[in-house]
Amino acid sequence: MKIATWNVNSLNVRLPHVLNWLADNQPDVLVLQELKLEQDKYPAAAIRMMGWHTEWSGQKTYNGVAIISRHELQDVHIGLPDLPDDPQRRVIAATANGVRVINVYCVNGEALDSPKFAYKREWFAALTQFVREQMTRYPELVLLGDFNIAPSDEDVYAPDKWYEQIHCSSEERQWLKNLLDLGLTDALRHVHPTGKFYTWWDYRGAMFQKGLGLRIDHLLISDTLKMRLQDVQVDTVTRGLERPSDHAPVVGLFE
């Protein structure tokens, strides 16, 4: 089973890349973040014409998440119960082939002294509660997407520069640890305990060409899935395409 996540940074721009990636890689599940499309603008017909099932939660300009699957999607859920009035479309969950898939586009936060950081704190608390509840119902579960948090200094190209900055602060890393403490495992680090694996590179300054990025896109998996995990790969080739997203797909391979 192949499960992947990709922040596409505008599906309208990146749709050809996504359709080609689906055809070439044939995943069981691909989740997308940052669609930047209204609900009725989502290209469901093009995706379904290729034989895929899909569910989505769209939003103009920012946000938006989707799940694409070769399997029928069941028990679809959108949003966080503890933030019922949150207008930002950042969470969609569904069950595919017996696996509970929770796709998240986590809050960026902008800066530690920004009001958006306070929203990020509240949002992660609500996410943690939601995942805790989901794990009581679904033993095979993957929480994946763009978390906007680099778990450790090894996941950052210049730790001194990023020290206690957004994405790399001690507080944010604790939020990610709180999710792992629910009984989840960082799939990539389970397979590759050491090494540089970046998933996002700033468009500015030729950062991708220089190999200077952050690992902020993750697959967090339950113990049942961990026993089936074979490999996790970052598809950097896709990041090198013409007009790419600033994120690369991250792919988990399971028995």
- Residues noted as catalytic: 105, 146
Other C-beta atoms lying within 10 Å of the C-beta of residue 253: 17
Print the SS3 string covering 61-122.
Answer: CCCCEEEEECCCEEEEEECCCCCCCCCCCCEEEEEECCEEEEEEECCCCCCCCCHHHHHHHH
Show Cβ contacts of residue 144 under 8 Å, excluding neighbours closer than 6 positions. 3, 5, 31, 101, 102, 103, 104, 217, 218, 219, 220, 250, 252
In degrees rounded to 5, what are phi and psi of residue 95?
-105, 130
